[in-house]
Each structure stands twice: as C-alpha cells, then as structure tokens.
Structure 1
C-alpha cells in the first residue's frame, strides 16, 4: 500500500470507530481480516495513524475547526508528526486510493490556526469532565502533562535477575536497539517510531527462556519501592496476570514466601505459565473459589502486602488512547470504592512492623493521596513511610528521581512528562510494631 492509501484506510477506520462505537483494537483487527492484501507493515502503519489520531482526538479537531475523521487525521499529522502542508498535499492528491485533495478551508486552517488559547482539555486531549481532577494534581501544567500522556510509549522490558542480567540481555537484544532505562536497574527500553511495529519480543530467545518480561519502567519502580526482601512473606493481593508478582519474586531472589491472588480469577489465568518460565519456585498462586477467602489462613503474618489497586488507568493513556474517551465519571466512583475495599482486605494480613505498598496506574489525587489519607484516618496504626526513604533503593539516582517525580507527603507520582514512564503512584504504609 502507498502512504496515501494508508491514510485513506485510516480515515475509513476512524469513521467506523466513531459511528459504530467500536473499540479501536477490535476495529483494527476486523479491518486486517477483511483486507488480507495489506502486509504487516501496512497494518502497523495504519494502526499507528489511528492510535495517533485517538491520542490527538480533541486537539486535531480544534486545529482544523472541523469534527470529522478526515479533519482529525489531517490535524494529527500536523500536531503529532509535524507534517507540513506541502508534504500533506503530495499525499492528499485524489489519485487512486488516495484521499481527495486538501480543501481551501483545510489548507487555511493548517496555515493560520494553532492550539494557542485552546482550553486545557483540548490542548491536552482529555475529556472535559476530567479537567478539575487534573487541575487538582498538575495545576497550570495539566495540558502539558496530558500532552505527554498522549504520545506513543516506548517498549520497556524488565530483565529477570533470577535468570539473567541487564548487560547480557542488552547485548542479546542489540538488534532491536535496546538501551538501559533511566531509572530501573533491571530495565531496557526500545524506542518506537510513529510507524514502527512492536517487535516480536515473545519470539526472542531471552523471552522464551524467561530472561525478560515486558513491563513499563514505572511499574518496575513501583515494585522496587516496595523493598521486598529475600526471606519475607509477601502477598500480591491484586496479582492479575502477574507482572508485579514476577518483579517481586526477583527482588526476593527466590527466597521467602510469595503469595499471589486476585479477586477476579480470570485475571490470574496467565500467571502460572509466566512464573514457570521465569524460574520462580517460591510463589503460591491462590485462585478464589466461590465465596471462600483464599487467604483465610493468614492473619498478621505478612511482612508486605502489595496492592496494585484497580483504578481508572489514567496513567496508561499513552498505551490505551481510546480508553480515556470511553471513560465516564461513574467509573471513578466505582474505582474509589474498590480501592477502599482492597485496602481493608490488607489490614488483617499485615504483621506488626509490616507494610502495605499501595500502587495505582492513575494520576488522579482522588485515587492516590486522598485514598491513602482516608485509609490512615481509619487505621491510625498505619503511618506513611516517607517517600524519600522508599526512593532510597535507587541509590545514586534517588536525588535525580526526587527532582523529576512529584513527591507528596503520601508517596511518589511518576508521569510520562516528568519521569518518562507511565503514570504511577506509589505509597508505602507501615504498621506500628
């Protein structure tokens, strides 16, 4: 397919997503099935265009002063990819499979309009109703922070130190351009261009043998800040597919007792194979059965309970750009209730002197600082471990991290703009001894 034909296909897909309210991933999959002549490179390029438009959904329409799939694509090409009018005109030429030529209004908008003076929600590409929530966190910087959350994320990997080390893995993945991440001592990063396909990490020998896992650097740091140690009893209360469980196992060096569970047993399905591949032998996966409590035998014995809490996922917008446009205010209220409930579940598990690590992939204060504040008000036996102490695990990078991340009295907030990671909040709470 020509670059111009890819643009036409992207416009068609965006129309489908908008008019039929189809999730972007589903629309892209169905389009690929129906257009088998399109090669993998074509599909990747078209997907990149669609995802970039969804990242710039509001600002691109504002720039073009028009609300259509075509207008948004044109606006995105200017805002996200820096394409000039001459380059666009060469592809929007009306030839076979190409979009029709730029109209006078479109050319004028590209030449005269900008995002100067646009509302923060438009400039930052997020739903209007979220503006007061983001203002509470970032103030006047909210548009800039949200814009960073709208850019494409790199592919981050965590080296499994039970089986490998970062230098060895980097040499093995040199053909993919893997480089050390800025903060995590076990992280590697592969930068991805606008049209780049995600590399087939699952077919790499390092992955097959359990030497690496896909995990954003922010998630790696969240696990690191828990300070899980060899010999401890650690409970991953919201283990899901096991990403942080695997990171915790590596920190524990295979020593101690690691228990992984989740209220939704369907989420646990991949964890068994992942633990086996990673060479983790000290993990006990407890799958819920009916109304029975899978942790009924554990009372006040855990050194650490990790809560990777259910949340709105605002910190992962750059990986799931259509999710923010489908998010509704009621979702936040549901998540706040879920978070309070899982925090309460952790309380009887923790031994005196033990700790709870509360983690979200959200940037919203309501889910982060305010949730922790409410918890410590209900349970004065728990106090917040000063964030500067949790970041001490970064050693020589702790000072630089403190300057980059947002620190509150309750914990750390990482963002794409500040730390180059997904948005993550981490708070550690210690129970009185």
Structure 2
C-alpha cells in the first residue's frame, strides 16, 4: 500500500473509533481481519497514523480547525511524520485508494493556524477539563509534561536476573537497538519508532521464550525497585493483576522468602501463571480467594498496592483512554483507591512497609490519597522519599519529582518513563 491507501485506512479506523466508542486496539484488529490483503508493514503504518492522531488529537484538530477523522489523520502526518501539506498532496497524486488531497480551504486553515499561538490545552494535547489537574500536579511545567505524554513511547524490557543478566540479553537483542536503561538496574530500552516503522516482536525471540526478560516500562521497574523487597521477606502484592511487579519482586528477592499475589478480580490474574513458569520464579503463591488472603493479616513485611487508577501516566501507549476519561471515572477511581488502602493496611505487620503505586500523574490519585490515609491512620508514617530514592538510585534524584513526605513522581519529561507515582509508608512498632 502507498501512503494514500494507508491514510484512507487510518481515517476509516478513526471514524470507527469515534462512532462506536471503541478501544483503538480493537478497531485496528477488526480492520486488519477484514482487509487481509494488507501486509504487516501496512498494518503497522496504519496503526502509527491512528495512534499519532489520538496522541495529538487536539493539536491535529487545531491545524485544520476541525475534529474529523480526516483532519486528525492528516494532522498526524504533519505533526509526527515530518510531512508538509505539499509533500502529502504529491504523495496522493494518482493513487486511486487515497483520500482527496488537501483542498484550498484546508490549506488556508492550516496556514492561518501555523501563524497563531495555540491555547495551552491544545499544545498539551489534553481535554480541557484535565488542565487544572495537570497544572496542580506539575505547576508551571504542566504543558511540557502533558506534551511528553503525547509522544511516541519506547519499548522497555526488564531482564529476569533469576535466569540471565543484562549483558547477556543485550547481546541476544543486539539487532533490535536495545540499550541499558538510565534508571532501572535491570532494564533495556528500544527507542521509539519513527514514521511508519515498528518495534521488533521481542516476544518471538528465543531469549523471551526462555524467560530471560519481560516487557515492562522502566517506570514500573523503578517502582518495584523502590519497594525494596529483600530475600527472605513475606510480601503481599495486593493488586497483582498480570504479575509484572510480582515477577520483579521475585527476582529482587532471589527466589527467597514468599510473595503472595492477589487481585480482587480473578480474571486479571490469568496471565500470571504462564509468566511465573517461564520466569523460574519459585517463591510466588497466587491467592484468588479472599479467605486465603485473610490469613495473612498482620504478617507481611511488605504490602504492595499497584492501585487501579485513571492511567493518565500511560497516555503515550493508550492515547484513546485520554479522550474517554471523565471526571466521574476519576471520582470512582479515587474511592476505590481509598478503600484498597484501608483494606491493605491490615496485612502489614508492625515495622512493616505499605507501598502505594499508581500509573497516574494526577495529584488527586497520588499525594492526596497518601495525605488522607496518614491523617486517618496515625499508626503509619511516611518514609523519607528523598533518602529512599537516593539509596536505591544513587545520583539520579534529578530524574524524579520527589516530595519527601508524600511520594515520588516519574514522568516522560523528567524521567523518560511512563508516568508513575510511588509512596512508601511504615507501620509503627
């Protein structure tokens, strides 16, 4: 397929997403199934246009003063593919599968917008209602921070130190362009793709099948490292989900001690069993029944909460979620987080640690939750997060926003990771 056919397909997918309010992954999968003539390269390029259009939706719509699938797809090429209106129109000439080229009105709108200053929410590529949330979280840097959440993400991997080490995995993946991460001690990073490129299918690598590495954002890896799980500990991963942090904790503990992986929604635990087998983690027990977890009350050295949240820190990877999110959903998440914190505290033994993590950058889900919890639970105290970060990641404190008493924020702009929040509390003896 030429650019014109790919552009037309992207417009079709964006229209499907808008009309049927569908997740982008589902819409792209269905398009591929109904257009089997499209090769892997075509599907990747179409997906790139669609994802770029959703990441940059506000600024793409601004360019043409229109929020149509056509405007978003053309805007994506102009903003992320180093195209110009002239280069796009030339590429569409003679392509019977292409959409109509940019017309005089569109070219005039584009020229006028280029000469003007876009509003802050447009430059940040966010819904208007999120502006005060991000400004409260990031202060004067909020536009740049939000803009970084609209960029293409890298592909991050975590080396499973139970079975391999970073130099060995780097050698295995040399052709992918992987390099050691700057923060995570066992991380590898494959840089963001450009244009119509695509990331390598690392899960097809023999080294992945052998359990030598997992796909995991560097920010998630750092959060697991900050949790400071040690060999011999008794650990409860209270919202384990698919088990990414569970496996990272098992490696940090060198298979010594015990990790109990639990999730209130059993279906979320489904992937963890194959991942445990492949990783050679032997100190993990999966507990799906509430009665099984209840027996752990007051016995845990470490309780980790990877709390359900808005996912605002993952907007680079899930840009459609940015536009589906509502204030009502934020309120629901905040209530869930408060309830989980209250439930999880019962499992922490005196002198033990309660760790709270989200993949959100909203202060409402992060610092505010910790402050509320501490006010209501005087038997818990905040750790010194500046000292904790400096101890676990020496010389890297400038890579995060650290509130000594309330927690640590990682972000694409500051840390080069997805957006994460981490807080650690200790139970008084």
**Structure 1 and Structure 2 fold alike (TM over 0.5):** yes
CA distance in 2, matches of 1:192, 1:226: 28
* Deviation at residue 44 of structure 1 after TM alignment: 0.6
Q: Which is worse superposed, 294-303 or 39-48?
A: 294-303
> Paired residue for 2:271?
270
Match of 1:133 in 2: 133
Please list every run of 5 or more consecutive structure 1 residues that lacks an aligned counterpart in the other structure: none
Alpha-carbon offset, residue 404 of structure 1: 2.4
Residues 120-143 of structure 1: per-residue CA shift (max 9 Å, x gap): 222211111111111111123222
Counterpart CA distance in 2 for 1:416 and 1:191 is: 13
Q: Is the 8 A contact 2:366 2:421 kept in 1?
A: yes
Measure, in 2, the Cα distance between the counterparts of 1:231 and 1:22. 45
CA-atom RMSD in angstroms: 1.4
Q: Where does residue 199 of structure 2 map in the other structure?
A: 198
For residues 288-342 of structure 1, what are the alpha-carbon distances to aligned partners after superposition, in whole Å with 9 as ceiling and x for unaligned?
2xxx433121222111000001111000000000011111111111111111111
Q: 1:12, 1:104 → 2: CA distance?
A: 23
Residue 119 of structure 1: how far off its partner (Å): 2.4
Structure 2 partner of 1:335: 333
Structure-1 residue corresponding to 2:161: 161
Q: Displacement, 1:183?
A: 0.7
2:376 corresponds in structure 1 to 378
Runs of 4 or more above 4 Å deviation: none
Q: 2:342 aligns with which of 341, 344, 347?
A: 344
* Distance (Å, rounded) in 2 between the aligned partners of 1:432 and 1:199: 48
Structure 1 residue matching 2:332: 3-state secondary structure: helix
Alignment partners' CA distance in 2, 1:151 and 1:294: 43
**1:429 corresponding residue in structure 2:** 425
Aligned length: 427
- Is the CA contact 1:92–1:102 (under 8 Å) kept in the aligned structure 2? no
Task: Flag structure 2 segments of 5+ consecutive residues without an equivalent.
Answer: none
1:407 aligns with 2:402: yes
**Number of the residue aligned with 2:288:** 287
Residue 351 of structure 1, CA deviation: 1.1
Shift of 1:115: 8.4
Distance 2:221 2:2 in 1: 40
Given the alignment, which residue of 317, 324, 329 partners 2:315?
317
For residues 61-106 of structure 1, the C-alpha deviation after alignment (integer angstroms, 9 at most, x for no partner) is: 1121123211122222222223223311212336311221221122
CA–CA separation in structure 2 for the residues paired with 1:357 and 1:407:
15
- Once residues 94 and 312 of structure 1 are traced to their aligned partners in structure 2, the CA distance between those partners, rounded to angstroms, is 45
